[in-house]
Structure 1
Amino acid sequence: MTTSEFVARSTLHGTAGRTGIIRTPHGDIATPAFIPVGTKATVKTVLPEAVAALGAQAVLANAYHLYLQPGPEIVDAAGGLGAFMNWPGPTYTDSGGFQVMSLGVGFKKVISMDVEGRQDDSAVAEGKERLADVDDDGVTFKSHLDGSRHRFTPEVSMQIQHQLGADIIFAFDELTTLMNTRGYQESSLERTRQWAIRCLAEHNRLSTARTHRPQQSLWGVVQGAQYEDLRRKATRDLLELSRIDRDAGGKGFGGYGIGGALEKANLGTIVGWVTDELPEDAPRHLLGISEPDDIFTAIENGADTFDCVSPTRVARNGAIYSFDGRYNITNARYKADFSPLDAELDNYSTQYTRAYLHHLFRAKEGLAATLATLHNLSFTVTLVDRARRAIDAGNYFEYRDEFLARYYAGAARRT
């Protein structure tokens, strides 16, 4: 096995959803699949072995953060990301393009705001400093660690990601915000297209030069914000670039990421525009989602894999996912509650009671974040695994409706 490939299995009737297998040098990923985020070569507070034991099939790390610390040359010397972090399975790295927005202007990926009539290409989130400047050649960053200045170009991103050695890597792209004007979105899309050409060229060069490492699969990233014509154009452009590259003897794109700032209400529509343009044998990764309902939306609109920081991030603040809704374990009602976090889940954290976890958070013990993170990861992996099995069994919609009704009814009872 030299790179990744996708094999479709079942389709979800009446939707773009499907099940399949992504084959990589470090193992197969049964899709749809939730990919936990291990930003700095670690899923915060938990052992990689524990993440694997919960059933997670792959992890995603951040090229920008690993570039700053410890440096890609260290990860390369260790044998690549998986060997460095003692993770046995497939790995992904993003390109660093996310930092163009998150560090550049301080906005989050999913922006819950009404931007009608408020578009401003110079906007910066309130209380934030602009730490990145974009030009047609690349991006100049100011490190959030020490203020030092760095330069990312498509070639640099490819060089970093090849040193990191993930099975699936992403082309360098510009991530715009919903505050950007239509005119800026158009120019940004062309910039990302030009960067994709350079990424393919550098990826081909490095793949030839680094035959001592497993071959990596480069995936193009579709931008275009909330505009249907731009999303479809971006997808068709990347497909054509991949075809041209392969015809010239290159590797082309092994799959496609769906990126950009998305309003939650439009998530499924935008993903659907992209997957509608993609061939069946092209795997699709949705770069970042939020809550459980987003998972179902992503699956039904054709996403094969998706990452999300929410389960681990909220866990560190005491928010617990359960099949009867999300709740905050630090609330007083759980002080003497000796039931498990969720009796339906079979994972390491079910050995501990709500009362114990409540105590750990109140006492500010580090084990609190560890157990909560293990639990929330297990919940999310189980949710997606059950969805995958339901598609294959032909009862996906019954599973979805039952889950969502129970989950949000339970959450409502707790508020």
Structure 2
Amino acid sequence: MKKLWSTIFNTLVLFVMTVSVTFAADGEAVIDTGDTAWVLISAALVFIMTPGLGFFYGGMVRNKNVLSTIMQSFFIVGLISVEWVLIGYTLTFGDDISGFIGDLSKIGLSGIDVHTVMGTIPEFAFVAFQCMFAVITPALITGAFAERMKFSAFVTFILLWAILIYNPMAHWVWGGGWLAELGALDFAGGLVIHILSGVSGLVICLMIGKRRGYGKSPILPHNIPMVVLGATLLWFGWFGFNVGSALGANGLAANAFIVTQAAAAAATVSWVFAEWMHNGKPTVFGAASGCVAGLVAITPAAGFVTPMPAILIGLIGGVICYFSVAVVKAKFGYDDSLDAFGVHGIGGTWGAIATGLWATTSVNESGADGLFYGNQDLLFIQILSVVAAWVLAIVGTVLLIKIIGAFMKIRVDESDEIAGVDISEHGERAYGQSFVAGNPLFGNKE
């Protein structure tokens, strides 16, 4: 009898489980816990990239400007997260208005709750993941104007740039806008993030001018280990950046992981060898820069290419970005302080074009075949998308800087630049040794 009751109980349990799965399958949407967990973990990985960027950039500047540089990245986490929840998400992913911007139907995340599902994940998970993209993009720009912008002007510019430049471009590509309708491919942000931020950075550094002493005396990184730490955090977080863009724990995510690692590794090697041949010394700084260049280059292609093309994308990207930083910048003399344009603008441009060469539907059926798989149309679409991103970044940034400059001072005074932006803008120093030699905070001269 006991065995009979046990059999009946087990049968009922199996029946209930079957019924519940059937009800879930018959519903409008089903949340996949594995996909949800991976997207939330990816959002956290992308989050750590922005403080990591602060260390990466902070190590490159002089010690009198390290805190202001880190502060820019850290403060952006707060500022843009609030902007994203209030208005950024709806402008990007709200219902399309004429292919150019999202409507205000999701302002303040209106209409989204714990039951709202997007694909196989809660929409809140998607909101969180995309929030981290919106955060890191303007932070990348700060490398171009490091050591010379007033904090008030920085805050104003970043907020307006996010609303008026980033959100529209993200809508064009990811929110159902005109570039998406055209068939442009950008898996994780070559167009939206890297071209937009890198080119905007170039425009700003040209408009506000060079740092005092640039080109006349050495301006050297103050802490290379900090640079390597930042690059390592970026590399680590980038798996969330690219792999998380599959929006699920699946084969596409696994492919994105492999090609991300392959491209970053290849660019590290090619940058170091290019530097070795050009300058006679392979440097740790070059290796750190090379890995970031490879990560940038593979970002738009990560969900569309196979591993062998990824290695080529990384190898070529490392050389192109090194040439841009070591040769082009020196030739034209612009002060892109931390090479935001040379790595992100140029690397993102190469990656977007490379997607048009090597994309294949064997990796992602929702993508398209590129030139080397018999479809030249995709390459033309990618080039047009690159032009659109460049134009938006240039025109939008010029207008913003002109408008902001009419109401407030953008650049710190020369005396403040000499003392250091840490002291002049924030009233603090990164290192206690500064007090031994004397500190402007206490009225002494350095």
What's the TM-score once normalised by structure 1's chain length?
0.28
Structure having greater relative contact order (Cα 8 Å, sep ≥ 6): 2
| Rg comparison, structure with higher value | 2
Normalized per residue, the structure richer in strand is: 1
Q: Which has the higher helix share?
A: 2
TM-score of the aligned structures, taking structure 2 as reference length: 0.26
